[in-house]
Amino acid sequence: MTSPITTSRQGDVLIITSDNPPVNALGAAVRQGLQAGIEEAAGDDIKAVVITCAGKTFFAGADITEFGKPMQEPSLPVLIDAIEALDKPVVAAVHGTALGGGCEVALGCHYRIAVPSAKFGLPEVKLGLLPGAGGTQRLPRVAGVELALEMAAKGDPIPASKAKDAGLVDRLAGEDSLVADAVAFAREMAAAGGPLPRASEKQASASPALFETFRKTNAKRFRGYEAPADIIALIEKTTGMPYEEGVQLERQGFMKLIMGTQSAALRHIFFAERKAAKIDGIADDIKLRDVKRVGVIGAGTMGGGISMNFLSAGIPVTIVEMAQDALDRGTGVMRKNYEATAAKGRMTAEQVEGAMGLLKPTLNFDDLAECDLIIEAVYESMDVKKEVFGRLDKIAKPGAILASNTSYLNVDEIAASTSRPQDVVGLHFFSPANVMKLLEIVRGAKTADDVLATAMALAKKIRKVAVVAGVCYGFIGNRMLMPRQVEAMKLLMEGATPEQIDRVHVAFGMPMGPFQMSDLAGVDIGWHRDPTRIENIRDALAAEDRWGQKKGKGWYDYDEKRNPSPSPRVAEIIEEFRAKSGATQHEVTDEEIVERTLYTMVNEGALILAEGMAQRASDIDVVWIYGYGWPVYRGGPMFWADTEGLKKIVAGLEKHGFEVAPLLREKAETGERFNK
């Protein structure tokens, strides 16, 4: 097998090049090739060395697929030490993203030169790990403890310009002359002579207050995660320590995390997210439909949010409403949202104008004839949707993709109201649609393959994580939400409080519990609006104007800063319904809440999987992580079920009298997992 590493010479400079697509991950073959390159560099005729990568990026890190398998020599830390130990200048020439182990290789080199578009990062934390090849020790010594903490504990990459300011990059190269500039730099450093700047020989220092402040400032972001806490503690403990001792502690910390469930969960999600983009039975190279302009029907919260995704990606949008005031209100909200983003420094004023400039608001439905993809975001009613699709069928250009943003309704029935069901697909965005990452692409019985593949490609373009779902009530996400909601209400009747149920969910790692979520979304959503018709607790709350946060009261009472407190009135209402329901009261334990609200979701997930409504268990995990805030460190409901043990899930369901999904039972009995 040919090595992904080649060497070449420019005079007395040795250029070591890695070509290991797609991201130059530092797998065994790359490490072995680099080791051979370093041995070659020891030759007397070599005065300096450049390490660079072909393709789209510098090393993007260790090869994650090797984790959990027996390690092949040389290990990355040993290799990087050997690079640093060379007695001639070694220059890392960086383009693309120097991430994780890649950033650590660059730190092992004596000098770093980068193109302006390059980025540097230590994203290991996002895989539940800490940098394990010297990163926690060399980065603070090169770029300072504060930046090292930021980069290692949060995992976000920084641009080359910032890296240069911090001393992580010594020089910027021309965007098209990286290797030539690196060779010149290497030669210059060789000629200059003098001691080589080795990161491990430098010192780092920081005031103890820095760590405490950092912990406090980021407490919310890090809640529940092991790796950030370990990273902060490690850098705190090793700052000022000799390098050799620090790096040993780093090694121990890395080994501890890599054996843990959180890292397994986070690595699972890394690959699950990428696998979700693959559609069973459709070739990767299928010809896609050209989407140059998107049409959106409805300028309400959903239609506006959906439009913003495309505008931000530079795709023109025609947005249609029925009345001028609704159209004006909708476009006004979009502008306000963009301006708020700009105020936070995440967009420039020109970008705001650029995006809004791509928007064509109109009252004329026929203007949609110019669009290649039309998404309807109108009222959630089958009759209304059918009427809209019937009209669309008459005016849309041949081959245009017709999409419904329905959250529950039957996409096949909607498609049947057109003469072109093959062009119809569900595109279920989650609210707020300009923010939430998830997109469910609903595959109708007749949806054409190229329509599906085009939708998937577009999702990537607008930076969504998309999952293919089949036609069933609520698709994947909302269908699994239903048993949770039903059980939460039953638990209330049997003795639990909204506070207890929410507390259990938050302790589990959810951003909020079911009642907090209802207060945020609006208790009145889907309410029949007849205050005299009180059939359940929700009706009672809505009738008393307890619509949630927007009214200052819902399941909870809110102060002017929207801090919730348990509501005595809600307790009374619950008591009234308990009395009427005849449900047997008992002491509800936290464990029972988990079993009845979360195990039931897993059960529903197993049904979805068996019915083929999700392509794979990991897709269900992706839906819950990106659409509903399931804690990433638990890997999604199906991965979590695997880690809990499927036998335990089955026993928990049976204890409460639930019918166990056959697939779940089968897997529990055979000892299989949902995610292999």
Name the residues annotated as catalytic: 104, 124
Say whether residue 276 binds ligand 3H9 (CB under 6 A).
Answer: no
Widest CA span of the chain, in angstroms?
A: 93
For 236-300, the three-class secondary structure string (H helix, E strand, C coil) is: HHHCCCCHHHHHHHHHHHHHHHHCCHHHHHHHHHHHHHHHCCCCCCCCCCCCCCCCCCEEEECCC
Question: How big is the site for ligand 3H9, counted in residues (CB under 6 A)?
Answer: 25
Q: How far is the CB of 234 from ligand 3H9 (least distance, A)?
A: 13
Q: How far is the CB of 196 from ligand 3H9 (least distance, A)?
A: 23
Say whether residue 61 binds ligand 3H9 (CB under 6 A).
Answer: yes
Residue type, 432: P
Q: In the block, which residue shows the tokens 């193109």?
A: 115
Give CA–CA dist 469/452, Å, rounded. 11
Q: How far is the CB of 462 from ligand 3H9 (least distance, A)?
A: 14
Q: How far is the CB of 99 from ligand 3H9 (least distance, A)?
A: 4
Q: How far is the CB of 79 from ligand 3H9 (least distance, A)?
A: 10
- Residues 563-602: x/- map of binding to ligand 3H9 (CB under 6 A)? ----------------------------------------
Q: How far is the CB of 26 from ligand 3H9 (least distance, A)?
A: 7
Residue with Cβ nearer ligand 3H9 (4 or 89)? 4
Residue with Cβ nearer ligand 3H9 (58 or 214)? 58
Say whether residue 53 binds ligand 3H9 (CB under 6 A).
Answer: no
Say whether residue 272 binds ligand 3H9 (CB under 6 A).
Answer: no
Q: Which residues of 92-109 are buried (b: 16+ CB within 10 A; e: fewer)?
A: bbbbbbbbbbbbbbbbbb
- Binder among 83, 91, 99, 455 for ligand 3H9 (CB under 6 A): 99
Residue with Cβ nearer ligand 3H9 (57 or 405)? 57
Contact between residue 21 and residue 55 where contact means Cβ atoms under 8 Å apart: yes
- Binder among 4, 128, 132, 361 for ligand 3H9 (CB under 6 A): 132
Residue with Cβ nearer ligand 3H9 (472 or 622)? 622
Residue with Cβ nearer ligand 3H9 (75 or 422)? 75
Q: How far is the CB of 298 from ligand 3H9 (least distance, A)?
A: 31
- Binder among 4, 89, 128, 131 for ligand 3H9 (CB under 6 A): 131
Say whether residue 62 binds ligand 3H9 (CB under 6 A).
Answer: yes
Give CA–CA dist 608/403, Å, rounded. 22
Q: Is 112 helix (H, G, I), strand (E, B) or coil?
A: strand
Stretch that binds ligand 3H9, among 128-136, 194-202, 300-308, 364-372 (CB under 6 A): 128-136
Contact between residue 32 and residue 3 where contact means Cβ atoms under 8 Å apart: yes
Contact between residue 538 and residue 469 where contact means Cβ atoms under 8 Å apart: no
- Binder among 37, 100, 295, 548 for ligand 3H9 (CB under 6 A): 100
- Contacts (Cβ under 8 Å, ≥6 apart) of 368: 295, 297, 318, 320, 374, 392, 395, 396
Alpha helices in 291-348 (DSSP H): 301-312, 324-343
The DSSP letter of residue 436 is -
Beta strand pairing status for 13-18 and 48-53? parallel
Give CA–CA dist 403/426, Å, rounded. 5
Binding site for ligand 3H9 (CB under 6 A): 22-23, 25, 57, 60-65, 76, 97, 99-101, 104, 123-124, 127, 131-133, 135, 271, 274
